[in-house]
A = this chain, B = another copy of it.
């Protein structure tokens, strides 16, 4: 994809990851793979790990270290209460944006 996606992802990627975690706990490698699967073909691995550390430091997720059979131990992240609240706020903000843009798009303004 292009530079447009990269810029649009700013602020949105965080919501995406939180949304994923709201369904089930997951670790970084898993999330990256899932995103690639969903068509986010060139989200850098480093980006996800950095993002996870960020939301951890903000207290939106809890972390647990879990041994893996296939490699180094995994850091499994799960959404906590604060994260859930933040995610709700994210969806409200997102709805606001999509509504404005839909109006702009439809009336070819």
> Which residues of chain A have a CB within 8 Å of any CB of chain B?
1-2, 4-12, 14-16, 19-20, 22-23, 38-40, 89-91, 93-94, 96-98, 100-101, 104-105, 107-109
Contact = CB atoms under 8 A, between A and B. Distances in A.
A61 to B, nearest CB: 16
B100 A16 contact: yes
Indicate the member of A8, A38, A93 with the most B CB atoms within 10 Å. Answer: A8
B8 A4 contact: no
Nearest to A23: B109
A41 to B, nearest CB: 11
Contacts of A14: 7
Contacts of A94: 8, 101, 105
Nearest to A98: B98
B16 A104 contact: yes
A4 B101 contact: no
A96 B11 contact: no
Contacts of A1: 93, 96
